[in-house]
Amino acid sequence: MKAALILENGDIYLGRSIGSTKTRVFEMVFNTSMTGYQEILTDPSYAGQGIVMSYPLMGNYGVNHEDNESRRPWAEAFIVRHLSRVGSNFRCEGTLGDYLKEHDITGIEDVDTRALTKTLRNQGSMNAMITCAENFSVADLLPAIRAYRVEGTVDRVTRSAPETFPAYGEEKHHVAMMDFGVKQHMIECLRRRGCRVTALPAHTPAEEVLAGGYDGVMLSNGPGDPAENTAIIAELKKLYDSDIPLFGVCLGHQLLALATGARTGRLAYGHRGGNHPVRDLEKGRVFITSQNHGYMVLSDSVDPAVAEVSHVNVNDGTCEGLRYKRPNCFTTQFHPEANAGPKDTEYLFNRFVASMGGDR
């Protein structure tokens, strides 16, 4: 079945439908990863977005239940150059095409993904629509495309009730994971380091967290504009004013910065992929990182009496991490658990465990 991708600037890309045939409007973003499409689709940070993969072949190793990063996929749409009809891997349990249909994800293939990626990079992320309608008027569709907004996504992706995951082996610490859209592998990284992890709904009051007997709190990744989460930001300020160890990632990094007086801004086209170089200023080393964000903490808005920039993006110099003056508190913009992606920065989980007292 034929399908069309329509950008809010009026550009049209014709291709073939994959997955669901429903018409969908979404924010169009690109990802530069060569693999990890299942982890990308199930990353809650993509709620409300459609993803074009810059690498031309997707689906070649199929899908399996172990690689899901959350209870369901959250991406609205998936755009590829070529979709493999066969999954060739000993772990394969099905094809990517069937996975898209099963989870009602609209998709399109046989489009020029290189040209589409270059458009987004030059003009910035923009809204788009995929439709399988045989006859349509772009002029009639553009108002609805341009009116779309990614809003209220944290409330959509967070848990409705606490959920506890036991440590692997001997339990050394109990960590509260504030679920703003957490990836499961972030929880797994803590479990492998002897932490029992209790994932809490995003709007859990700070008083309840502090009364829970936790050794530390992680602020997870998640979708959307951080500044719209005003109630969550107010609760994080209370956590910051306590002495409990804190480690924030991606959206958690942005929310804690807002809670301590810094400001955030929108990136033109975001950082999404598994090949983003970041310099750790303390170590004096560059690490390759996995990233998925459209907003950033503005470095010049960080009060030096509160925090200092600890990591910077090598490509554009944006803030990739903060080290707070308050003891046992640090955050990163990139994903240190990096599933799928490079594992270079998993050392940050060791730092977080050390901040809780190490291997007690």
Residue 358 confidence (pLDDT) = 62
Domain parsing of the chain, residue ranges? 2-150, 154-355
pLDDT at 63: 97
Number of H helices, E strands in the chain: 10, 19
pLDDT in tens, 123-182: 999 999 999 998 999 999 999 999 999 999 999 999 999 999 999 999 999 999 999 999
Structure confidence at residue 49 (pLDDT):
98
Low-confidence ranges of the chain (pLDDT < 50): 360
Q: Mind telling me the catalytic residues?
A: 250, 335, 337
- Homologous superfamily of 154-355: Class I glutamine amidotransferase (GATase) domain (3.40.50.880)
| In contact, 78 and 19? CB cutoff 8 Å | yes
Domains 2-150 and 154-355 belong to one CATH topology: no
Nearest to 198 by CA among 215, 100, 304, 155: 215
pLDDT confidence of residue 164: 98
The dihedral built from the CA positions of residue 214, 250, 156 and 165, taken in this order, carries a sign that is negative
Q: What is the per-residue pLDDT for 341? A: 78
What's the confidence (pLDDT) of residue 48? 96
Mean pLDDT of the chain: 96
Please give the class, per CATH, of domain 2-150.
Answer: alpha beta
Q: Which helix (H) or strand (E) holds 31?
A: strand 24-31
pLDDT for 203-227, tens place per residue? 999 999 999 999 999 999 999 999 9
Q: Is the CA virtual torsion 43, 48, 49, 50 positive or negative?
A: positive
